[in-house]
Amino acid sequence: MNDALPRGKPVNFSNSALARYLSALFYLSDGNDDDARIEFEQLNAAFASNTKVYYHPVPKSAADIQTVPPEKARLNIISFAGLSPVKEEGLFSVSFPLTIPMLCQPVFKLPRFVKRPSAINRIEVVVEGEEAFNLELLEDMGAVIEETYNARFSQIFFKTFIRLLTKYAAVAVAANAAKEQGGDYAELAALTTALAGKIAADASEGADIRMSRYMPNKAYIGGINLDPGTYNITINYYSGSRIVAKDERRDVVVRENEPNLIETISLK
């Protein structure tokens, strides 16, 4: 139709590694090893099926959860960082096959995604008395959002196109009727009607840009095997060599055969 128009992209996303990870974690804490095994298999399948979303290695810590030594307890950390892309209104060129030139070039509005870069490029976990470790990227949630939009793109595009074409066609009919009844001022009547109708049609259109503005962009995971007990834990968010955010937890109780899950977040 027009090279300037956005195009839908192939979508392969049908399996969330983040959802599989959380399911496996809670199955393990219930002693349901077989269901946990299936969830871990599905986590790996998610990485294999969509390299656009899972463009990074499978986190090693996901496999480590399955091999906790006897009499040890696993402390799991999940961190959400950055802000996901947001939709903004984009204006695009499109042509309508109408007889009135003014109505052949409508204002065509569709959502487009704008990324919001994050300062965070490393997340470190410090457990008092233990060696520090970095969290690993599990899921690019911003990429999942864009994949979800792509799955619906064709429907959004054609609904917008048909709705706007219908409005413009109605304006063309009204302009032609005004021309027939305009007498000596037929051309002016048609032009005025077309212009007023175009302004009204364009004003009534708008891209649907509703979405959460505070959804995190990426999910990271990690963990460590510990003796059951109480620990002080610090999560450091780094931008290069500089700490830009810190989350300190005091007296965290770590128990055997429990999820022992800490959730932490920085939207920087």
Q: How many angstroms separate the CA atoms of 100 and 102, rounded? A: 6
State the pLDDT confidence band at 153, using cuts at 50, 70 and 90.
confident
pLDDT at residue 3 is higher than 70: no
- From the number of C-beta atoms within 10 Å of its C-beta (0-12, 13-18, 19+), residue 193 rates as buried
pLDDT at residue 214 is higher than 60: yes
What SS3 state is found at 221?
strand
pLDDT at residue 8 is higher than 70: no
For residue 53, which of 167, 136, 130, 143 has the smallest C-alpha distance?
Answer: 143
pLDDT at residue 2 is higher than 60: yes
